[in-house]
């Protein structure tokens, strides 16, 4: 879905930015379903084409859960089966942050698009 929207915006499938956004969306959506789900409430995904890039926002309704932000995400132990998702977001996004909201939180990540040369 995210890759199709990017393609509609002129960012082709298989481009580095398209692949990065698709992986970030997949990871943040999986985190929202796994860790942020509240019975009767879904998560929200918002993609926005901003000047110079793409903004991804995934919001959930789970209050009270702390999510590490940039520079707080630490690698899990080598045999752990989970805990690498935010490291992936950190590696792929040019910027990201965790925003509190009522109820819950929003993880916002941005991927820069390569500058197109002027004609």
Tens-place pLDDT, residues 61-96: 877 655 666 666 666 666 666 566 788 899 999 999
Distance in angstroms (rounded) separating the CA atoms of residues 15 and 34: 28
Query: CA 70: distance to chain centroid?
Result: 12
Q: How confident is the model at residue 36 (pLDDT cuts 50, 70, 90)?
A: confident
Q: What is the mean pLDDT of the chain?
A: 84
Q: 31 is written with which tokens?
A: 């985190």
Strand order in the sheet with 44-50: 44-50, 53-60, 105-112, 95-100
**pTM score over 0.85:** no
The DSSP-derived string for 3-31 is HHHHHHTT--TTSHHHHHHHHHHHHHHHH
Distance in angstroms (rounded) separating the CA atoms of residues 98 and 113: 22
């Amino acid at each position: 879905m995210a890759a199709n929207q990017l393609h509609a915006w002129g960012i082709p499938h298989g481009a580095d930015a398209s692949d990065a956004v698709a992986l970030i969306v997949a990871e943040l959506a999986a985190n929202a379903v796994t860790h942020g789900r509240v019975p009767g409430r879904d998560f929200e995904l918002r993609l926005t084409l901003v000047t110079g890039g793409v903004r991804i926002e995934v919001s959930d309704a789970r209050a009270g859960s702390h999510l590490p932000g940039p520079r707080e995400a630490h690698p899990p132990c080598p045999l752990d089966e989970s805990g690498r998702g935010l490291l992936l977001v950190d590696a792929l996004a040019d910027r990201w942050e965790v925003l509190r909201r009522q109820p819950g939180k929003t993880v916002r990540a941005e991927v820069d698009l390569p500058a197109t040369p002027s004609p």
